[in-house]
Amino acid sequence: MNTDIAQLVSVALYTPKPAESVAFFHDLLGMEISHREGQSVYLRAYEDFYQYTLKLTEAKQAGLEEVTWRASSPKALETVVMRIEASGLGDRWTDRDYAHGRAYKFCTPDGHRQKVLWDLDYFEAPPELKSKLRNRPSKRPLRGVPVRRIDHVNLMVSDVVKNTDFMLNVLDFKLREQKIGDGGAIVGSWLSVSALVHELALMRDSTGSRGRFHHVAYWYGAQQHLLDIADIFAERDVRTESGPAKHGTTQAYFMYCFEPGGNRVELFGDTGYLIFDPEWKTVVWNVANEVDLEKSSIWFGGQLAKSFYRYGTPVVLGHSLEEIGR
Ligand SMILES: [Fe+2]
């Protein structure tokens, strides 16, 4: 598929518990630490080809620092930046981020900080991490149940239509699935730039807040690994929210949990389904209809917790996990 954005590169998160957050991703999800700098730690999954896909930075509150996208070519980068600047949501060019070259910073209409680039550093495994599989950038780790690669990011928005239109018209995403609610209001969008059903989901924040983070997803490629990590989480009192189960929307096998800093993380079992059709017609779920409401959220495997539509980071007053309850 020929879009100006090629893929999701990385997600940068704030955490009030940096040591515990790093231990969660390193020890339980088997991620490797690529770099430490100041109050930040950079990590990658063992099949992530770039230097890092997750940056954790110490801060008072959990939340999103930035999402980074890679353009399809240097020319596509310039084209996208022209459209971002015309939208009025552009910020500036920067070349100061670790492992990322010249990049253009901007915001979504809701205020989520983003960055788009072409130049970046590929991961070069040191001898002890080198895999004999020539198409695997580093050895499969021995810790926890190692995730394989970053998959997608989910952002909570105050206005799904406005933010979806921005991603479609300015960033060149394709609209794969959508949920409409009472009165035809659009309450969620699943967008992609590849055959994946989504690299980005936008969901209505039912607290009415702007610019919050819902989750980052790492991919296993096998449902059994969700059961394995669920077993390990239960032994170690890691807080989980829903799953292992299967969504109707995107057909994903999933489990949601919270890293110690409070950010939601999704572990993604298989790929869902793939889209190769250049004339794809957006799949629409009408969640005002009870069957669609139930089947889109959970195809099988229990229920989504109440917190799923209300909890995000940063946490807003009255909407902590404890206050929302199960
Ligand atoms: Fe997700």
Mean pLDDT by groups of 10 residues along the chain of 326 residues: 92 98 98 97 98 98 98 97 98 94 98 98 96 96 97 97 98 96 92 96 95 98 95 96 93 95 95 93 91 86 89 92 82
Q: What is the pLDDT of residue 323?
A: 87
The secondary structure of residue 24, as a DSSP letter, is: I
**Ligand 1 mean position to 153 CA, how many Å?**
7
Give pLDDT, residue 56. Answer: 98
The three-class DSSP label of residue 18 is helix
Residue 155 Cα to ligand 1 midpoint, Å, equals 10
pLDDT (0 to 100) of residue 92: 97
Spatial distance between the Cα atoms of 138 and 128, rounded to a whole number of angstroms: 9
Of 175, 146, 182, 142, which Cα lies nearest the Cα of 161? 175
**What is the Cα 103 distance to its own chain's centre?**
20
CA of 75 to the centre of ligand 1 (A): 30
What pLDDT, on the 0 to 100 scale, is given for residue 302?
82
Residue 215 CA, ligand 1 centroid: distance in Å = 7
Query: Is pTM, for the whole model, over 0.95?
Result: yes
Number of domains in the chain: 1
Centre of ligand 1 to C-alpha 154, Å, is 6
What's the confidence (pLDDT) of residue 326?
Answer: 66
Where does 74-211 show beta strands of DSSP type E? 90-94, 103-107, 113-117, 149-157, 174-180, 186-192, 200-204
Please report the pLDDT score of residue 296 as a whole number. 86
- 61, 190, 264, 326 from 71: Cα distances, Å: 30, 19, 27, 40
Tell me, in angstroms, the distance from the centre of ligand 1 to residue 254's CA: 8
Query: Distance from the CA of 291 to the center of ligand 1, in angstroms?
Result: 21
The residue assigned the tokens 């970053």 is: 150
> How many Cα atoms within 13 Å fall on the side-chain side of residue 164?
21
User: DSSP string of 25-39?
Assistant: IIIIS-PEEEEEETT
How many Å apart are CA 33 and CA 183, to the nearest integer? 47
Q: How confident is the model at residue 227, as a pLDDT?
A: 96
Side chain identity, residue 99 = A
Distance 151 CA to ligand 1 centre (A): 8
Q: CB neighbours (10 Å) of residue 270?
A: 17
57 to each of 13, 36, 75, 100, how far by Cα in Å? 6, 10, 32, 16
Q: How far is the CA of 130 from the centre of ligand 1 (A)?
A: 30
Ligand 1: distance of its center to the CA of 273 in Å? Answer: 14
Query: What DSSP state is assigned to residue 86?
Result: H
Task: Please identify every residue whose CB atom is under 5 Å from ligand 1, which is an ion.
Answer: 154, 217, 266
CATH number of domain containing 198: 3.10.180.10
CA of 86 to the centre of ligand 1 (A): 30
Tell me the CA–centroid distance for residue 110 and ligand 1, in Å. Answer: 19
Q: How far is the CA of 251 from the centre of ligand 1 (A)?
A: 11
**Domain range for 153:** 5-324
> 239-256: b or e for each residue (b if 16 or more CB lie within 10 Å)?
ebbbbbbbbbbbebbbbb
